[in-house]
Structure formats: structure tokens, C-alpha cells
């Protein structure tokens, strides 16, 4: 079974509107972490936001917020007030367990295009 599922291969959004990128995950480990990364056309991977499984509140970082619904095993990324520079691939990823000696498992990504 897929551990990280991103069901939207591509998304369009109008500039200045909000957009939600979906991510569901599958793990039996009670301790885990969820990450979102952005990959512009230049190729570098940019860390956006992190949510720990025991965090009581949804994570926020500027225009990015993570809609964490633990019972549904979803960790959707919300981008408010989209900008042209938000056009990129977005990857959801998960670390299982609480130790740092773990690799991240990534989803297949969502390509977001922001239209003027």
C-alpha cells in the first residue's frame, strides 16, 4: 500500500486565491512527522512546513498552513493568497517513528500552476 498518496497530479489556481493540495498517509506508528516540500522548475527542493503527530495545533508558516486531520490520516497543504512564484511541484512526505535515523517517504507530487 502507498504510504503517501497525493491524488492531484495537477492543479490550477488564480493568483491571490487560496488552494489546497491533498495528502493522505498510511502508518501504524503512533509517532510520525509530515513534511511538505516545494520544487520549482529550477529543481531545488525547498522545505515548507512540518507537522508532528503529537502536535496539538495545525502547523503554519507564513502563507502556508497544514490542515492536519489525524483520524482521517490527511495532511493537506493550504496556500493562501497564491502568487505566481508558487507555481511548482509540491511533495508531501512522512517520517515514521521519532528517531532521526529514518528516511522520508514521498508522495508522487502535485504540480501547481498559478494563473494571473
Partner 1 sequence: DVKVTQSSRYLVKRTGEKVFLECVQDMDHENMFWYRQDPGLGLRLIYFSYDVKMKEKGDIPEGYSVSREKKERFSLILESASTNQTSMYLCASSLLGSGPNTGELFFGEGSRLTVL
State yes or no: residue 64 binds partner 1 (CB under 8 A). no
User: For residue 27, what are the contacts with CB-CB under 8 A and spacing of at least 6?
Assistant: 3, 73, 94, 96
Specify the residue, 19 or 49, whose C-beta has the smaller distance to partner 1. 49
- For residue 17, how many other CB atoms are within 10 A of its CB? 12
Stretch that binds partner 1, among 1-9, 22-30, 62-70, 79-87 (CB under 8 A): 1-9
Q: Which of residues 38-57 bind partner 1 (CB under 8 A)?
A: 43-45, 47, 50, 52
Which letter does DSSP use for residue 58 in this model? -
Please work out the total of residues on this chain that contact partner 1, with binding judged by CB under 8 A. Answer: 27
Q: CA torsion angle for 28, 29, 31, 32 (degrees, to 10)?
A: -70
Q: Report in angstroms how near the CB of residue 15 gets to partner 1 at its nearest.
A: 26
Interface region with partner 1, contact rule CB under 8 A, candidates 11-19, 20-28, 62-70, 95-103: 95-103
Q: Beta strand 110-115 with 10-14: parallel, antiparallel or unpaired? A: parallel
**Residue 10 in contact with residue 110, Cβ under 8 Å?**
yes
- Residues 97-116 within binding reach of partner 1 (CB under 8 A): 98-109
Amino acid at each position: 500500500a502507498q504510504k503517501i498518496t497525493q491524488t492531484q497530479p495537477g492543479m490550477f489556481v488564480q493568483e491571490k486565491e487560496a488552494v489546497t493540495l491533498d495528502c493522505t498517509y498510511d502508518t501504524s506508528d503512533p509517532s510520525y512527522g509530515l513534511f511538505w516540500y516545494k520544487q520549482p522548475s529550477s529543481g531545488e527542493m525547498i522545505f515548507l512546513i512540518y507537522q508532528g503527530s503529537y502536535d496539538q495545533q495545525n502547523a503554519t508558516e507564513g502563507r502556508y498552513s497544514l490542515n492536519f486531520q489525524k483520524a482521517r490520516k490527511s495532511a493537506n497543504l493550504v496556500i493562501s493568497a497564491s502568487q505566481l512564484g508558487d507555481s511548482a511541484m509540491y511533495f508531501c512526505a512522512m517520517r515514521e517513528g521519532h528517531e532521526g535515523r529514518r528516511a522520508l517517504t514521498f508522495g508522487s507530487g502535485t504540480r501547481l500552476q498559478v494563473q494571473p
